[in-house]
Amino acid sequence: MKALRLSARLLHWVTRRPRFLVASILRFEPGLAVMRLLWVLQNIPGLQEATQAGKVLMGTVDTFLLWRLTGGKVHATDPSNACITGIFDPFTMEWSQLIIDMLGIPTSLLPRVLNTRQRYFRTC
């Protein structure tokens, strides 16, 4: 982690890109959803196998509600909710492949990130 922060600080100093400044202060706090996800994946028996079989999904409350309201057809979230997971990159508006690879999180768990104004489903 220290090497990542130092590299990001150096890249920010050279390029002046805000993205690198954010990476230089990156910390994985216990309260982040990604840390709880890692704990669950590592400590609940059978969950790794279920994940590999495509039977496990991850998301925030909005993801769960959307999943239930669509009868399991839509597994999605919006950028504001994706940000609180600790895995989302707000500069690219996508899941951070660097963090996903670094922590070994299966991408099959993650919901699609859709625009907040986008129609997710129809009710009638």
Q: What pTM was computed for the model?
A: 0.71
Token couple for 10: 């150096």
How much is the pLDDT for 24?
47
Q: pLDDT grade, residue 78 (50/70/90)?
A: very high
Q: Give the CATH class of 31-124.
A: alpha beta
- Which candidate, 74, 72, 76, places its Cα nearest to that of 60? 76
State the chain's mean pLDDT as an integer. Answer: 81
Mean pLDDT check: name the lowest of 8-12, 20-24, 33-37, 40-44: 20-24
Going from N- to C-terminal start, the domains of the chain cover: 1-28, 31-124
Asked whether the predicted pLDDT for residue 18 surpasses 70, the reply is no
Burial of 23 (0-12, 13-18, 19+ CB in 10 A): buried
Does the pLDDT at position 1 exceed 80? no
Around Cβ 16, how many Cβ atoms within 10 Å?
9
Please report the DSSP string for the chain in residue order.
Answer: -HHHHHHHHHHHHHH--HHHHHHHT----TTSHHHHHHHHHHHSTTHHHHHHTT------HHHHHHHHHTTT---EE-HHHHHTTT-EETTTTEE-HHHHHHHT--GGGSPEE--TTS------
Condensed to tens digits (0 to 9), the pLDDT of residues 81-103 reads: 998 888 888 888 999 888 888 88
What is the mean pLDDT of the segment spanning 65-74?
93
107 within 8 A of 95, measured Cβ to Cβ: yes
Higher pLDDT, 97 or 22: 97
Q: How confident is the model at residue 7 (pLDDT cuts 50, 70, 90)?
A: low
